[in-house]
Amino acid sequence: MRGYLCKTFTARRGALLAGALCLAAGLSACGGGGSDAGTPGGPVEPPIGGGGNGTLRVLLTDAPACGYDNVFVTVEQVRVHQDAAAADTASGWRPITLAPPRRIDLLTLGNGLLTELGHTTLPSGRYNQLRLVLAENTPANPTANMAKLTGGAELPLSTPSAQQSGLKLNTAIDVAAGQQTDFVLDFDACDSIVRAGNSGNTILKPVLRGTPLLTSGVQGRIDAALAGPQTTLSLQQAGRIVKASVPDATGAFVLSPAAPGTYQFVLSAPGRTTLVVNGVVVTASTLSTLGSAALPLTAPASPTATLDGAVNTGATPVIATVHALQTLGSGATVQVAGQPVTGNGGAYAFSVPTAAPLVAPYVAAPGALAFTADPAAAARYTLAARSGTAEKTAGPLTVAPGTTVTTPFSFP
């Protein structure tokens, strides 16, 4: 897999990242499935740059999944079209064909890593539709698309709609004559694995995002003592993770690409107090900085409690996710932990800190972050269970150090 990686980024290579990828396109919708239904993106734009040909290069990255050792997908083709409503049989499709199809472990693509899917020369203009075509699991290749649970079984992932017409996304990719446009697909593996209603199959329904214009995001460093596979660094909005990663062995991290906007940065580490930075500003073509080698972010130790239970969806194995959320004194919600729930019992368990989270307003580097405890959120959690499009919540729950609070969820 490492041979597929086109770039490897660490915090020290932030300047290289900022200059290396120009994502001259935006993704206006996320989705899965190969349906031709959708809202046209307006009339087809005339060629930009005075006509002629340009080059489109497509790359893939991942928002790391929770609770999986591997999530493999096998990509056969990427197709683009200028008409957002074009059917898969329409003329005018421009393909990037991977020969042979490429099997990619999405979980190798965190912390700023990307892999190139390919490039093609095509007429300049605006391309309003993109389709990602995945290979089919066959008797000869039953794990072309597969997820392996941490410490558990391998789950073949069915991709029925993707096999025929491709996973459809509305896009706005401008390709200029004589120039190369780089477009990055951000594949959220954790939210892309669902259970079909009646078939009992485990379905790969990819949640894909694109980053408009230039590479942007957050880079930085945490105390190396916190570095480890269970430490999560994330950019969030309204309690939903937009981009997440784990630090490298030195504590360096990169959260990119992330669309320009305002985020909460959350650091969660086992046995440590949660850190939250509010109002993190991400601008186009810039990597904002949080922590440095000289002054890394650190989180003090915290007592912990356990939140556990089981999810019943009426199917075996259970496919769902459970997330532990905290509401800060400001009213904002952050996600402290999350994991997929699968297997015959549908069990989940979190170890969560009971100390008050430390919260700081964002200050652009080289300014120092000023963290203060948020006692309103101390030891108080809300659990959110999601199965398909359904969601149920429980809480807020108040937990004491060393205790366990058990909460079952049942979906019809």
Whether residue 137 is contained in a domain is answered as: yes
Q: Do the domain assignments include residue 297?
A: no
Domain final residue, candidates 159, 178, 210: 210
- 62 with 106, same domain: the answer is yes
**In the block, residue with structure tokens 């490298």:** 248
Is the pLDDT score of 161 beyond 70? no
State the residue range of the domain holding 265. 218-290
Closest CA to 135 of 53, 73, 214, 67: 73
For the stretch 215-229, what's the b/e string if a residue is b when 16 or more beta carbons lie within 10 angstroms of its beta carbon?
A: bbbbbbbbbbebbee
- Of 210, 232, 264, which one is at a domain's C-terminal end? 210
| Beta strand 347-353 pairing with 304-312 | antiparallel
Query: Is 271 in the same domain as 335?
Result: no
Take residue 286 and report the two structure tokens written for it. Answer: 């810039």
Find the DSSP H helices in 302-371: none
Residue labelled with tokens 């789950």: 155
Which is more confidently placed, 61 or 320? 320
**Residue range 317-358, pLDDT digits in tens:** 677 889 999 999 999 999 999 887 766 678 889 999 999 999
On whether both 250 and 310 belong to a single domain, the answer is no
Q: Does residue 87 share a domain with residue 62?
A: yes
For residue 38, what pLDDT is reported? 27
Shared domain for 242 and 310, answered yes or no, is: no
CATH number of the CATH domain containing 329: 2.60.40.10
Residues 272 and 235 in one domain: yes
Whether residues 27 and 92 fall in one domain: yes
Structural domain includes residue 35: yes
**Residue 24 near residue 85, CB atoms below 8 Å:** no
Query: Both 6 and 151 in a single domain?
Result: yes
Average pLDDT over residues 206-227: 76
Q: Examine the domain organization and report whether 193 and 251 are in the same domain.
A: no
The answer on 339 and 251 residing in a single domain is no
pTM of structure: 0.65
Asked if 51 and 104 sit in the same domain, the reply is: yes
Indicate whether 205 belongs to any domain: yes
What average pLDDT does the chain have?
Answer: 79
Query: Does a structural domain hold residue 295?
Result: no
Give counts: helices (H), strands (E), the chain.
2, 31
Whether residues 30 and 143 share a domain: the answer is: yes
Closest CA to 26 of 146, 150, 151, 130: 130
